[in-house]
């Protein structure tokens, strides 16, 4: 049974779509027990969460739900939300894990439920770096067009914001090292919405044909991208 709290600390809140209120959770947990199923609770503090206090708040709320319902739970799923490296500074996941362990002991004592989790982004983010090629420039290089965009492997950047570890490499393999300035970056489709958040800082010496390297896109880039784009032509008849 999944519940949700108005907890801050994540890039965006999963509780706006999923999860019962604590009051609803009490009644639902009781129904689970009456139905003869194995009672368990789960929560998700929100994606790319770096605040250990979010897990602490959720775990203590889980204990309050258990106490009010009179139902013991076999498992507590402490969710995903574990942050990945986006700006060159790896998140302190050990701090988060320690806070989870301490809060579980404080809330449930010597007989805690089995803890399970869904590491997701934190586990697979570094699986690969996406390379998109600069296919064109205009306005003196202020606007770039890539051969990938929000309908492809860069969809997560649209929602998560610009990453801080982007590099540019020439077609000959030389890293561009010019001063960086913010750019407007479009994808390859005819849709003007196919655009990254404005201000991606790229080197001054970047050129058409270079590759823009986006590291840390192993989590949702290919999983969320469209497999194909279909163009439909409409013919009007009198």
Q: Which contacts qualify for 20-28: CB closer than 8 Å, 24 or more apart?
A: 22/61, 22/64, 22/65, 25/1, 25/65, 25/69, 26/65, 26/68, 26/69, 27/69, 28/1
Q: Are strands 180-186 and 143-146 parallel, antiparallel or unpaired?
A: parallel
- Provide the β-strand partners of residue 200: 183
The domain of 24 spans 14-123
Query: How many CA atoms, within 13 angstroms, populate the side-chain half-sphere of residue 200?
Result: 28
156 and 77 in one domain? no
Q: What is the pLDDT of residues 158-200, one digit of tens each?
A: 888 898 899 999 999 999 999 999 999 999 999 999 999 999 9
CB neighbourhood size of 176 (10 A): 18
CATH of the domain at 201: 2.40.37.10
Total domain count for the chain? 2
Whether 236 maps to a domain, the answer reads no
Alpha-carbon gap, residue 175 to 210, rounded angstroms:
9
Least confident of 2-11, 165-174, 197-206: 2-11
- Report if residue 141 sits inside a domain: yes
CA–CA gap between residue 190 and residue 201 (Å, rounded): 24
> Same domain, yes or no, for 166 and 80?
no
Report the predicted TM-score, pTM, of the whole model to 2 decimal places.
0.83
130-155 confidence digits (pLDDT tens)? 999 999 999 999 999 999 999 999 99
Position 63 in a domain:
yes
Is residue 164 one of the residues assigned to a domain? yes
Q: Are residues 139 and 181 in the same domain?
A: yes
Q: How many CB atoms lie within 10 A of CB 170?
A: 14
Question: Which of 123, 147, 171 marks a domain boundary?
Answer: 123
Across the chain, how many H-helices and E-strands are there?
6, 9
Query: In what side-by-side order are the strands of the sheet with 130-138?
Result: 167-169, 211-214, 130-138, 143-146, 180-186, 200-203
**Using one digit for the tens of pLDDT, what is the confidence trace for 100-141?**
999 999 999 999 999 999 988 899 999 989 999 999 999 999
């Amino acid at each position: 049974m999944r519940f949700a709290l108005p907890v801050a600390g994540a890039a965006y809140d999963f509780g706006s779509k999923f999860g019962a209120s604590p009051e609803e959770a009490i009644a639902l947990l009781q129904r689970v027990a009456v139905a003869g199923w194995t009672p368990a609770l789960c929560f998700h503090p929100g994606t790319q969460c770096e605040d250990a206090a979010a897990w602490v708040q959720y775990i203590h709320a889980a204990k309050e739900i258990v106490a009010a319902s009179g139902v013991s739970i076999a498992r507590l799923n402490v969710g995903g939300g574990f942050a990945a490296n986006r700006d060159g500074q790896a998140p302190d996941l050990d701090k988060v894990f320690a806070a989870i362990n301490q809060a579980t002991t404080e809330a449930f004592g010597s007989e805690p439920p089995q803890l399970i989790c869904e590491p997701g982004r934190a586990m697979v983010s570094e699986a690969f770096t996406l390379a998109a090629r600069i296919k064109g420039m205009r306005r003196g290089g202020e606007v770039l067009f890539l051969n990938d965009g929000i309908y492809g492997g860069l969809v997560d950047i649209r929602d998560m914001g610009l990453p801080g570890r982007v590099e540019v490499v020439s077609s000959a393999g030389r890293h561009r090292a010019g001063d960086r300035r913010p750019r407007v970056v479009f994808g390859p489709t005819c849709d003007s919405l196919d655009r990254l958040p404005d201000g991606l800082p790229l080197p001054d010496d970047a050129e058409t044909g270079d590759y823009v390297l986006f590291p840390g896109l192993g989590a949702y880039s290919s999983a969320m991208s469209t497999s194909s784009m279909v163009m439909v032509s409409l013919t009007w008849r009198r």
